[in-house]
Structure 1
Amino acid sequence: MREFSLPHMVEPLRAGGLADSVYETADREPDRIQFARRDAADRGRWTPVTAAAFRDEVLALAKGLLAEGVRFGDRVALMARTRYEWTLFSYAVWSVGAQVVTVYPTSSAEQVRWILEQTRAVAVVVEGEDDAMTVGAVCDTLPVLRSIWQMDQECVTELWRRGAGVQDELVTERRWLAEPRSTAVICYTSGTTGRPLGCMITHANLAAECDTVFAGWRGLFAEAGQQPAILAFLPLAHIYGLMVQVLCVRSGILMGHEPELSPSSLLPSFQSFHPTCVFAVPYIFERILGAARTAAQDAGKGSLFERAMDTAVRYAAAVEQHSQGAGKGPGPGLRAAHAAFDHVVYRRLRAVLGGRVRYAVTGGSPFSRELGLMFAGAGITIYNGYGLTETTAAVTSQPPGRPRHGTVGRPMPGTAVRIAPDGEIWVRGGTVFAGYVDDPKATATALRDGWLRTGDVGHLDGEGYLTITGRKKDIIITSGGKSVSPLPLEERLRAHPLISQCVLVGDNRPFIGALITLDAEMLRRWHQAVGTRLPVGREHASANKALHAEIQQAVSTANLSVSRAESIRAFRILPNEFTVADGTLTASLKTRRDAVYKLCAAQIEQLYAS
């Protein structure tokens, strides 16, 4: 199949902008609990915020922005982690008809300078002193920038005070001037290669995305009779995290904020907030599974856990085949084993997410079929999707009740997906962005006759399910002329408990090689299990023959899925994982291949020299 589309499910935004929903919800349901704010003294306690209270805080902050000279059409940058004030500022900015510019708090001074200069932002809101210093280091080169406000220095309270004399009607007038096609946010791409591009996302883009998700998938968000509750922890500077925020506010979903992505912070937040649905990137689910595996091993039940996961995969696969009319479903023996493991293993895995989650959503990077089957078999069905910053997050998703693990689902209602002759994925619909900031050449390259050229490669099956096989620019061409997409093999290797990251190399080389990093905790446990006498640090991993053999086995198993010309013929175990700090990962945890190639140039040369 070369093209597939589904009709619209919701009406497009006809008038106004995103801020209107804040005021409309407060008028209609003033006592509805819209947010839960973490208590500063007790992190396990959450304080409710009603729709009316949120509206009043947004309005007061919008008046403060007007008092400080922010005008209709101005651009205000937000540079902070995921916290309540980020959401508050974004809706205040939209309330005065201004535009939000997203900046990752991990950005370097040069990246900050580039974004603020390109967008001509008149103000920037930062979180802490380090962020303020980063902006301060470059503000002399930004003549348009007038204000820097710091969240940790009570800037919200100060802006409320300064706007106290501004009439409410002035905010209302500017809010009503906003139009659906007006730019709501300039969201920068992750920048996996080269300088990031500023995507102009309109009010209509975000409304179409969020309204479609809620209309088509609302049954996943909570059990009947429950108010859906979502803990937002993805970076709000990323389009995925921003979409979750707008979805919650437009749909009346209870929203909490967690600024840290580390398991030590995230897992306790799940326990205290008790979300009904989780929106995350695959990395989070991999870490959750890893934490559960570690807990089982600590309790001396590691083998029991592995048998339970194997049963989960087989059970979910049988259920999936039955739903597609290709099988009878799980047999009596499998059902009995599954029920037994549910009591001793699966319910504990569900408890990690707070106990109320039965469905979750993931996207942003590849999500393996095996991981999807594991969670589905354990009682949490994860709906995988696909999208880009340029498409306002998801353009495909697994249809409710009919997920096909290993694919990224079917086009969202109102979206068309086309496979070009060279295999590139093209998309069209109401969520496709307006273009790149001040870059007509890049815009013309990306958009052709209403179609967005994604740069990704894939194929559609007979029912419209899309499978991603890689990115055009990531295709490796060996010196023998063989074209290899690295994604499938990398996914298979990352499924091994010891392997945290994997990047294939081999462009203009005689064969495919791999750079592999190891999970520190799983490596420590492996050393305990095999009783090796070598030091356990990752810096010694490459010298450990037993460990090398373990990874070789994983590589050999992965190679079974490809031809010999596409197989990994050599690998190197690196001493450290890729990180955001060293520039090899984006803030959304995607691998920057060019940065990896540059950082690991010596290891790559050694790999081929041997």
Structure 2
Amino acid sequence: MRELSLPPLVQTLRSGGLADSVFEAADTDPDLVQFSRGEEGPEGMRWLPVTAQGFRTEVLALAKGLIAEGLRPGDRVAVMSRTRYEWTQFCYAIWSVGAQLVPVYPTSSAEQVHWILAGTRAVAVVVEGEDDAMTVGAVCDGLPGLRKIWQLDDDCVPELVELGRGVPEMMVHRYRATVRPGSAATITYTSGTTGRPKGCVITHANLAFECDTLITGWRELLAPPGEQPSVLAYLPLAHVYGLMVQVSCQRHGIRLGHQPSSSTEDVLRGLASFRPSFLLAVPHMFEKIFRQARRTAEEHGRLEVFDKAVDTAMRYAEAKERRYLGLGPGPSPSLRAQHTLYDRPVYRQLRDVFGGRVRHAVSGGSPLSRELGLLFAGAGITVYDGYGLTETSAAVTGHPLGRPRFGTVGRPLPGCAVHIAPDGEIWVRGPNVFAGYLDDRAGTEEVLRDGWLATGDLGHLDDEGYLRLTGRKKDIIITSSGKSVSPHVLEQRLRCHPLISQCMLVGDNRPFVSALITLDREALVHWRRLHYKELMDTRAAAQDADLQEEIQRAVSRANTAVSRSESIRAFVILPDEFTVAEGLLTPSLKLRRGAVVKAYATEIASLYQP
């Protein structure tokens, strides 16, 4: 199959903008709890309710403060903060006065901040703490248009509310009325995996269509009948995926909580106290949870039981998958009995990690492996995978309701289309596709072709219209013999090994493919303890003969998926993981391949010594 399109479920936005839903919700259901504000108390985290009416009051008061500070329709305001309730307040206050949002990752360097603020000509910036304020302050001299810096931790919200007391409410509504569906809602920057990030102009209509389609089509997954759905946001709101989660929840009455820290430990603590009904996450989260659960089982001498439970869960989920795809009868009686046997000791433990209520989840940002998808489905949490870009306002494909095909990223969303170009590139089309790159006509014309967005990703559609990703055009490795190798399959397989945290293939203009491998620190400590190894740092551990042999076995297993000419012939274990701070990962945890190659040029050269 080369192309597939599906009819829309929802209408595109006919009038107004995203802020209108704040005021409409307060009018139609003022007592609906739309948010829960986290507050650390003596007995742990408390979640304080914020109703639709209360949120409108807060947004209106903050919007009046922004007007008092000189903000006008069409102005751009940057928000540089972790995921917290005030981020959402500012987002809707900015939209309420007809201004445009510019999300900035709080991990951004001074150079990146200057690039974004200068490129968008932002007139103001909201920062979280003093360190962020200093980062912006360091580049202020080169930003003559920047008039204000507001700091959340310095009580800027109550100060702005006080400033706006004299501004009539009608002025906010007058400014809000200037917004049209085609007006820019946000200038959201790409992750910059292959170069400098680009500012994507995403309209109010783009985001509204995206969010309305997802919730309308998949709402029954969000909570049991009769219960209000709830979601804990921990993904960066500066990323289009996190922004989509926020807007979806506000537009459709889903209670939203905010988790500022994105570390696995803090997110799990937040999930345990918030107890969401639905989870939106990235593959890294599912990988970490599985690895942690397996290590715990091994430490307690229950690894054999755990591995048998994992095998049973995967076979059980695969049998169910074949049944709803019309390819088989479903799990056999003996398999169902085995599955029931492992539910209490293993599967329930995995479900409790997410707070105990989650039965369905969404994974995005990068593809989830088929193995993990089957495992979690067999354990009672069906993970729906999807595919999208900043340019598509988040997802453009997703698993159909009740019919996930694990290892794929689903079919086009209703109202969207996917086309496979002759060279294997994925092209997409739909009302969620962005308006273009900010002030970059040439860049926009390069990717927008007769209504289609050329994504730069490679893949194919199977007979049922499910999309499988095979790599990225710019990531293709071409060896000195002329062999083209997509690194995606081997990298994903290697990351499935408990010890391997990250992996990147190299080999451009080289005689064969090699791998740069980093180790999971917690898994390494666990491995050393089981093998009675003395405590050593990662650099020393990388030279251990037993560890080298373990990684070689993982490489050999991964190589079975490809031809010999595509296989990994050599590898090196690096002393440190790739990090965002070093510029080797994007804020969304994607590899900056060019930066990695430059940083480890010596190690790469050593792999090809005679």
Task: Indicate the SS of the match to 2:455.
Answer: strand
Q: Deviations over 1:41-84 (max 9, x none)?
A: 35421100001000000000000000000001000000000000
Equivalent in the alignment of 2:246: 245
Establish whether residue 20 from structure 1 lines up as the match of residue 54 from structure 2.
no
Q: Deviations over 1:106-148 (max 9, x none)?
A: 0010110110001000000000000000000001111100000
Distance across 2 between alignment mates of 1:40 and 1:176: 39
Q: Within 5 A, what are the aligned runs for 1:172-571?
A: 172-533=173-534, 535-571=535-571
Q: Deviations over 1:162-216 (max 9, x none)?
A: 0000000000011111000000000000111211000000000000000000000
Number of aligned residues: 609
Residue pair 1:222, 1:228 contacting (<8 A) in 2 also? yes
Residue pair 1:37, 1:84 contacting (<8 A) in 2 also? yes
Give how far 1:303 is off. 2.3
AA matched with 2:549: A
Equivalent in the alignment of 1:606: 606
Give how far 1:300 is off. 2.8
Distance across 2 between alignment mates of 1:71 and 1:586: 32
Distance across 2 between alignment mates of 1:226 and 1:295: 34
Task: Indicate the SS of the match to 2:166.
Answer: coil
Task: Indicate the SS of the match to 1:452.
Answer: strand
Give how far 1:247 is off. 0.2
AA matched with 1:562: V
Residue pair 1:366, 1:491 contacting (<8 A) in 2 also? no
Residue pair 1:542, 1:548 contacting (<8 A) in 2 also? yes
TM-score (norm 1): 0.99
Residue pair 2:367, 2:386 contacting (<8 A) in 1 also? no
Q: Deviations over 1:199-236 (max 9, x none)?
A: 00000000000000000000111111110000000000
Equivalent in the alignment of 1:32: 32
Give how far 1:593 is off. 0.8
Residue pair 2:318, 2:374 contacting (<8 A) in 1 also? yes
Q: Within 5 A, what are the aligned runs for 1:79-94?
A: 79-94=80-95
Residue pair 2:194, 2:474 contacting (<8 A) in 1 also? no
Equivalent in the alignment of 2:116: 115
Task: Indicate the SS of the match to 2:427.
Answer: strand
AA matched with 2:605: E
Identical-residue share of aligned pairs (%): 64
Residue pair 1:501, 1:577 contacting (<8 A) in 2 also? yes
Establish whether residue 4 from structure 1 lines up as the match of residue 4 from structure 2.
yes
TM-score (norm 2): 0.99
Give how far 1:462 is off. 1.4
Task: Indicate the SS of the match to 1:44.
Answer: strand
AA matched with 1:248: C
Task: Indicate the SS of the match to 1:400.
Answer: coil
Give how far 1:328 is off. 2.0
Q: Within 5 A, what are the aligned runs for 1:125-164?
A: 125-164=126-165
Distance across 2 between alignment mates of 1:298 and 1:276: 31
Q: Deviations over 1:233-281 (max 9, x none)?
A: 0000000000000000000100000011112211111111000111011
AA matched with 2:3: E
Establish whether residue 41 from structure 1 lines up as the match of residue 41 from structure 2.
yes
Residue pair 1:410, 1:464 contacting (<8 A) in 2 also? yes
What's the C-alpha RMSD, in Å, of the aligned pairs?
A: 0.9
Task: Indicate the SS of the match to 2:82.
Answer: coil
Equivalent in the alignment of 1:596: 596
Distance across 2 between alignment mates of 1:311 and 1:578: 34
Equivalent in the alignment of 2:51: 50
Deviates more, 1:484-493 or 1:303-312: 303-312
Residue pair 1:256, 1:273 contacting (<8 A) in 2 also? yes
Instruction: Name structure 1 gaps, 5 residues minimum.
Output: none
Distance across 2 between alignment mates of 1:576 and 1:150: 34
Deviates more, 1:279-288 or 1:85-94: 279-288
Task: Indicate the SS of the match to 2:402.
Answer: coil
Give how far 1:321 is off. 1.2
Task: Indicate the SS of the match to 1:102.
Answer: strand
Equivalent in the alignment of 1:64: 65
Q: Deviations over 1:301-353 (max 9, x none)?
A: 22221221111111111111121122222222211111011111100110000
Distance across 2 between alignment mates of 1:151 and 1:490: 40
Give how far 1:531 is off. 2.2
Give how far 1:600 is off. 0.9
Distance across 1 between alignment mates of 2:369 and 2:322: 17
Task: Indicate the SS of the match to 1:595.
Answer: helix
AA matched with 1:561: A
Distance across 1 between alignment mates of 2:466 and 2:563: 25
Q: Deviations over 1:520-542 (max 9, x none)?
A: 11111111222235x43211133
Distance across 1 between alignment mates of 2:127 and 2:307: 45
Distance across 2 between alignment mates of 1:372 and 1:280: 13
Distance across 1 between alignment mates of 2:303 and 2:4: 44
Distance across 2 between alignment mates of 1:421 and 1:288: 39
Give how far 1:487 is off. 0.2
Task: Indicate the SS of the match to 1:45.
Answer: strand
